A and B are shown apart, each in its own frame.
Chain A
């Protein structure tokens, strides 16, 4: 069973609207949790990195939150743009296994005009 589960699998939103993506994980202990954006045909690019003690991290219109008690993270996209159309991947890095990152399957976001 994957240790990082993302939801929804995909979503379609209108340009200008907000959306929130979810990430539930079982990895423990972990050193940090990351959100990546992967455009079609490209490698993932880091959006946010949060240590286990952080609750929120912003990068422009992207805001990630982390609740270590419930083992949940979310990525909120504000005022979506067409360029936000991509796959968003949640990644959890175990404390004792550097390099053995646990990847979620991603949420495919499509922003329509």
Chain B
């Protein structure tokens, strides 16, 4: 199994500011995924991050709003830029494991005022 940590665990931010969320994995992984979970809703994939290449964004998400870094095989960051109250969500990173397993981080709960 993979152990994933995220920082910060929660934050309250002002409109117009940016927040960078860190995701650390205890083993090397090829693909890392970033999700958003809005209150009472499904998880929605934001982007897939491979080490050494540009992240691949899903429909409705753009790099200017959610820039992602993937400097090595154990770490990634997601930045939520120019935040508005609509960005208030839980942001989760995840990685693939063996046998079709998928592991999630504990999430970052973001509130934008």
B interface footprint on A26-59 (CB within 8 Å = 1, 0 otherwise): 0000011010000001111110010000000000
Asked if A103 is at the interface of the complex by the 8 Å CB criterion, the answer is yes
Choose from B45, B105, B109 the contact partner of A101 (Cβ within 8 Å): B45
Closest chain A CB from B89 CB (angstroms)? 14
In the docked arrangement, what's the CA distance between A32 and B109, Å? Answer: 29
Contacts of B101 in A (CB 8 A): 46, 49
Choose from A41, A49, A103 the contact partner of B43 (Cβ within 8 Å): A103
In the docked arrangement, what's the CA distance between A46 and B102, Å? Answer: 7
Interface residues on B, range: 20 to 34
Contacts of A105 in B (CB 8 A): 40-42
Asked if B31 is at the interface of the complex by the 8 Å CB criterion, the answer is yes
Contacts of B4 in A (CB 8 A): 43
Closest chain B CB from A47 CB (angstroms)? 12
Of residues 63 to 113 in A, which have CB atoms within 8 Å of B's CB atoms?
A: 89, 93, 99-101, 103-106
In the docked arrangement, what's the CA distance between A43 and B58, Å? Answer: 21
Do A45 and B104 touch (CB < 8 A)? Answer: yes
In the docked arrangement, what's the CA distance between A32 and B106, Å? Answer: 24
Contacts of A89 in B (CB 8 A): 42-43
Asked if B77 is at the interface of the complex by the 8 Å CB criterion, the answer is no
In the docked arrangement, what's the CA distance between A10 and B106, Å? Answer: 22
Interface residues on A, range: 20 to 34
CB-nearest residue of chain A relative to B94?
Answer: A43
CB within 8 Å for A106 and B42 given contacts A43-B94, A99-B33: yes
In the docked arrangement, what's the CA distance between A89 and B42, Å? Answer: 8
CB-nearest residue of chain B relative to A90?
Answer: B42
Closest chain A CB from B76 CB (angstroms)? 14
Beyond A4-B42, A41-B9, A105-B41, 13 additional pairs, beta carbon < 8 A: A2-B42, A41-B109, A43-B92, A43-B104, A43-B106, A43-B107, A44-B92, A46-B103, A49-B99, A89-B42, A100-B58, A103-B42, A105-B42
Binding site for A on B (CB under 8 A): 4, 9, 31, 33, 40-45, 48, 58, 92, 94, 99-107, 109
25 sampled A-B residue pairs with Cβ under 8 A: A2-B42, A32-B100, A34-B102, A41-B9, A41-B106, A41-B109, A43-B4, A43-B107, A44-B43, A44-B92, A46-B102, A46-B103, A49-B100, A49-B101, A89-B42, A89-B43, A93-B100, A99-B31, A99-B48, A100-B58, A101-B45, A101-B102, A103-B44, A104-B42, A105-B42
